[in-house]
Amino acid sequence: MPGSHLPLMEEGMARWPFGPPNAGIALDFTGVPPALEELRALVGDRWKALPRLTQTLVAPGGPRTGLPWWTGRHRWARRDGHDLGRQVDEADGTLRDAVRLWFHTPFPADRPPWSLHLLRGSAEGEFSLLFRMHHSLLDGRSLTTLLRALFDDGGPLDGAASLAVPGPRRRTVRPAPSAGAPPGLLTAGRAVPLPHRGTREPAYTVVRLRTDVLRAAREAASARTATTNEVFLATVSGVLRSCLSAAEAAPPATGTVSGGDRGRGRDPGREPGQVWLSVPVDERPDDCGEFLGNAFANVRVPAPVTLSDPAARLTACTGLLTPVTRPRRTSEKLFEGTLAAVPGATMALAGGKIFAPSYAPAACSYVHLREQGQTLAGRPLRRLTIVPMVPPADTATFALGGCTRGHTLSVATNSGSQDADLLAEAFLDELTLLAERTP
């Protein structure tokens, strides 16, 4: 609610130590770009009843090194009557240009921490809408709710539904029988060395996935057609396996990524320790689907890097993200409330573990729009691309964006300027290898 302190997840993102906690989604359309005033009017009509979009983020008082910063909490402040059209602008350039400029720049403290950019791009007859946000404000499900409302078959969003905070019942993931018990909150696993190529700095890249290859990869499962998310996890696991292989086959400073264990030295499966993937899971029950805010939990699932066969890795990923809805346990609410009461101390004590590469060397996020016929003022949607936050040092984020026209993969790293491109190429290699295993 406006004026309230941030819950634990949002407070943690407000204190993100690797750069501004900015994230977003880009929607690419075919057609002549709309006029800026037309877009502002559409935003004003469809989002006018949403208090979340008029709030500003207020940091704890005092310098970041002082006691108030460590003991205080961020809060939301009301900006009643704020004109949403002021948050919409336009620019020439590509998504890469925007990410390089905007996603590493903090939002001003005196305005709501989000913006919608009309990108005219470099090709005639194409344009993009890029929604940029401070991640404490919204999560991926909130973004798809907002952006769907702008489509021609959408309508104004309901303010009361947007404030309907998920109650005692939450969606979560039921552990697959083959995966064993989930890891403890601070249980470490095995780090995976990334390529570390180029200047040590954040990097971001985007590649398109071939629809026929993705479809064939889904057929590689032994028991049933796999979900796109299961293929996604299995392919990322293959990339991490190839990273381990490359690091073991080459001197420490010259490791590279190669798909399918090409050039492998020792089998990476011989090393001890489980490799974990971090996956955000939407916690909204069915009756809170339009809630705007952050209602997700990061769960860790095992990456089957010990398996050399891509189809076997896909089978191992089957059922890892089976959702169930259950009441929140009293112990869970008490634990979260205790940690949220002293967020600075919590981050200081836990940050060294939860941000370490051994905790989760890769995060995997999948956002999709399944509806047919998505158009904006008659202009058809052709692609959805995710821009994740800058990940923790020496880790990678793989983000899959999907719509009825196809899928794109975004990769963000914080280990080397060439690493995002190398890992994206490795993902395409691994996906092709999996598709070739189709029975």
pLDDT digits (tens, 9 = 90+) for 197-236: 999 999 999 999 999 999 999 998 777 889 999 999 999 9
pLDDT digits (tens, 9 = 90+) for 380-392: 999 999 999 999 9
pLDDT band at 167 (very low <50, low <70, confident <90, very high): confident
Q: Give mean pLDDT, residues 18-38.
A: 95
pTM of the model: 0.91
Q: Give mean pLDDT, residues 429-439.
A: 89
Cα four-point dihedral sign 174, 178, 182, 188 = negative
pLDDT band at 435 (very low <50, low <70, confident <90, very high): very high
Q: Which residues pair with 209 in a beta bridge?
A: 407
Q: Give mean pLDDT, residues 251-261.
A: 51
State the chain's maximal CA–CA distance in angstroms. 63
Cα four-point dihedral sign 131, 18, 139, 360 = positive
Number of alpha carbons in the 13 Å side-chain half-sphere of residue 101 = 10
Strands across the sheet containing 126-134 = 88-91, 114-119, 126-134, 22-30, 379-387, 375-376
